[in-house]
Amino acid sequence: MGYQHDISSVDGAVEEQWGRICEKMKSEIGDAAFKSWLKPMSIKDIVDGSLKISVPTRFMRDWVMTHYAERLQSLWNRENTGIKSLDISVQEERKSPTAALASKGGPFAAPLSQPRPQSSSRGSKSGMPELRSAATGRDSLSDERAELCAPLDTRYTFDNFVVGKPNEFAYAAAKRIAEAEVVQFNPLFLYGGVGLGKTHLMHAIAWQIRSANPNRSVVYMSAEKFMYRFIRALREKNTVDFKEQFRSVDVLMIDDVQFISGKESTQEEFFHTFNALVDQGRQIVISADKSPSDLEGMEERLKSRLNCGLVADIHATTYELRLGILQAKSEQMNLIMPQKVTEFLAHKITSNVRELEGALNRVVAHSQLVGRDITLESTQEVLHDLLRANDRRVTIEEIQKRVAEHFNIRISDMHSARRARSVARPRQVAMYLAKQLTSRSLPEIGRKFGGRDHTTVMHAVKKVDELRNAEQSFAEDVELLKRMLES
């Protein structure tokens, strides 16, 4: 029948019912969407009226949950009254991140990859410690440590991290810590804006250390969790144990310490734990959204202590880095992305990597759902709202000003009715750039150019395209202007 099933504990009748539901779903949502989202699901078991279903990735689970769970539930109700609920989880068996990366369609490969065949063997064949998915919230370490350490995302490995100018220093520092046997700089303080890869790098350190030496104790936790635990320990009068837990840790990573600032007692405790660990030669890694000196509400002595290790900042992304990230991610997803679309996204979604990833996922999900290839037009349509938000940065007025300067004409000529080529050409270039760099519609653009008609704008765009193809120097001029406006 071709559906994924694992019927060791589910009988043939259930299998048949699933087959019928699949056929029904296929006719409702279409072949492409069915193949991407539902076919990879596998029926595992029925426990107390709950049907256990597993999917290969977290992304898939979330997608299925939000889009198909309700429909599936009602189809099941019809087929089998014994099934009261669906329990969709991420396939527990995971390869270690390195092993998973070696095969195409690793942990990041969500919608387009073929479902990974399920193997029945437990544990690790690669000799790596077994790592479970973040979604299951467990790992193979002792319970106590596992409880202390937050779940790690299997996608956040060094191999999955794209290195470019803005993050190469932070990357090198993180890598050094993951590889070093002895402490080299303490603490490592990573800082940068949201969505630029701080958490990714911290998880990557943890993955690498664990796979190289499972006996080393690595703890990663958010500063909020640290605070929460400390406050709980205070309440339970258990602060001695609390300290002990941390003091037996080889590498301690605390994410987003800006959340600790202002909380005096937690800061105090953090400081003590921190000092004790440093004195014992343990490695500490800390992240924040600001540099140590800029952290407000942080005690001076804590600041200066944070400052004395290595401070590495992650800068805002560049076009090249964004392009690299998009290429890497689409490769991991086995996606065929037209180069034009990749470039478009890299130009437009400039805020941070998280948003860039989100945009890519949306484009992919949409193309899967409607069963059509990814094109520039569909991308613009799907990301309409996002593009607008990212666009606000370049305005038509700015474009007009820059272009007028460049061609040595007056700004008023952008609006005037003069038709002399010396002003008409720059005006066309400005219209062209307005179309390229903002999400304004043709009529909107026309209005800003002295109330011209949208067909005039359309003509300008076409004309500039033609000239760009015909004249190398003109093409370079336009490209230069575009870069200037974008930077």
Query: Which residues lie near ligand ADP (CB under 6 A)?
Result: 156, 160-162, 167, 192, 194-200, 325, 353-354, 357
Which residues, including other chains, have CB under 8 Å from residue 31's CB and lie 6 or more apart?
371
Coil vs helix vs strand at 306? helix
Please return the burial class of 478, using the count of CB atoms within 10 Å of its CB with bins 0-12, 13-18 and 19+. Answer: buried
Q: Which does 19 bind (CB under 5 to 8 A by kind): ligand ADP, Mg ion, none?
A: none
Q: Does residue 167 touch Mg ion according to CB under 5 A?
A: no
Q: Which does 161 bind (CB under 5 to 8 A by kind): Mg ion, ligand ADP, none?
A: ligand ADP
Q: How far is CA 382 from the centre of its chain?
A: 18
Residue 152 or 457: which CB sits closer to Mg ion?
152
Q: Does residue 199 touch Mg ion according to CB under 5 A?
A: yes
Cβ pair 283, 185 in contact under 8 A: no
Q: Which does 195 bind (CB under 5 to 8 A by kind): Mg ion, ligand ADP, none?
A: ligand ADP
If binding means CB under 5 A, how many residues of this protein chain bind Mg ion? 2
Coil vs helix vs strand at 293? helix
Shortest Cβ 253–Mg ion spacing (Å): 11
Range in contact with Mg ion (rule: CB under 5 A) among 199-207, 266-274, 323-331, 479-487: 199-207
Q: Which does 196 bind (CB under 5 to 8 A by kind): Mg ion, ligand ADP, none?
A: ligand ADP
Q: Which residue is nearest to Mg ion (CB)?
A: 199
Please return the burial class of 49, using the count of CB atoms within 10 Å of its CB with bins 0-12, 13-18 and 19+. Answer: exposed
Residue 194 or 389: which CB sits closer to ligand ADP?
194
CB atoms < 10 A from the CB of 48, how many? 6
Q: Which does 197 bind (CB under 5 to 8 A by kind): Mg ion, ligand ADP, none?
A: ligand ADP
Residue 317 or 367: which CB sits closer to ligand ADP?
317
Residue 21 or 284: which CB sits closer to ligand ADP?
284
Coil vs helix vs strand at 314? strand
Residue 207 or 344: which CB sits closer to Mg ion?
207
Q: Which does 194 bind (CB under 5 to 8 A by kind): ligand ADP, Mg ion, none?
A: ligand ADP
Distance between CA atoms of residues 52 and 63, nearest Å: 17
Dihedral sign (CA 33, 36, 37, 40): positive
Q: Which residue is nearest to ligand ADP (CB)?
A: 197
Shortest Cβ 192–ligand ADP spacing (Å): 6
* Tokens standing for residue 209: 């250390």
What b/e sequence results for 93-109 when a residue is b if at least 16 CB atoms lie within 10 Å of its CB, and e otherwise?
bbbbbbbbbeeebbbbb
Q: Say how many residues make up the chain.
A: 487
Q: For tokens 């299997």, name the residue.
A: 154
DSSP lists the bridge partners of residue 50 as 47, 85
Residue 10 or 196: which CB sits closer to ligand ADP?
196
Shortest Cβ 297–ligand ADP spacing (Å): 20
Shortest Cβ 84–ligand ADP spacing (Å): 35
Distance between CA atoms of residues 405 and 113, nearest Å: 50
Cβ pair 218, 249 in contact under 8 A: yes
Shortest Cβ 287–Mg ion spacing (Å): 7
Q: Which does 486 bind (CB under 5 to 8 A by kind): ligand ADP, Mg ion, none?
A: none
Shortest Cβ 362–ligand ADP spacing (Å): 14
Shortest Cβ 352–ligand ADP spacing (Å): 7
Shortest Cβ 174–ligand ADP spacing (Å): 11
Cβ pair 330, 360 in contact under 8 A: yes
Residue 331 or 476: which CB sits closer to ligand ADP?
331
Q: Which does 38 bind (CB under 5 to 8 A by kind): ligand ADP, Mg ion, none?
A: none
Shortest Cβ 97–Mg ion spacing (Å): 18
Residue 187 or 426: which CB sits closer to ligand ADP?
187
Range in contact with Mg ion (rule: CB under 5 A) among 1-9, 76-84, 191-199, 353-361: 191-199
DSSP output for 256-274: -GGGTTT-HHHHHHHHHHH
Shortest Cβ 140–ligand ADP spacing (Å): 23
CB atoms < 10 A from the CB of 318, how many? 16
Shortest Cβ 271–Mg ion spacing (Å): 22
* Tokens standing for residue 325: 């990230």
- Secondary structure element (H or E) that encloses residue 191, with its range: strand 188-192
Dihedral angle of Cα 418, 423, 425, 426, to the nearest 10 degrees: -130
Residue 228 or 372: which CB sits closer to Mg ion?
228
Closest CA to 133 of 106, 157, 147, 152: 152
Q: Which does 41 bind (CB under 5 to 8 A by kind): Mg ion, ligand ADP, none?
A: none
Cβ pair 253, 221 in contact under 8 A: yes
- Residues found near Mg ion in the complex (CB under 5 A): 198-199
